[in-house]
Amino acid sequence: MKIDDWLLEILACPACKAPLRAETEAEELVCTGCGLIYPVRDDIPVLLVDEARKP
């Protein structure tokens, strides 16, 4: 998974607006606030609450 550091700094959880943390091995972004886990497909973050899974 390739997400630039500058992009990761500005991405936020659409549900609670908290910062996201990259889980490179699982190719996912994890919300540091509510814990929702967003998939990354073809190096593109899918930041849709309906697509996220709960921890």
Contact 16, 54 (CB under 8 A): no
Model confidence pLDDT, tens digit, residues 7-22: 999 999 999 999 999 9
Q: Report the pLDDT value the prediction gives residue 53, as an integer from 0 to 100.
A: 95
Provide the domain limits for residue 41. Answer: 5-51
Whole-number Å distance between alpha carbons of 44 and 55: 21
Q: Find where tokens 């929702």 sit.
A: 36
Q: What is the CATH number of the domain that holds 26?
A: 2.20.25.10
Q: Report the pLDDT value the prediction gives residue 2, as an integer from 0 to 100.
A: 82
Model confidence pLDDT, tens digit, residues 1-55: 788 889 999 999 999 999 999 987 889 999 999 999 999 999 899 999 999 999 8
Number of domains in the chain: 1
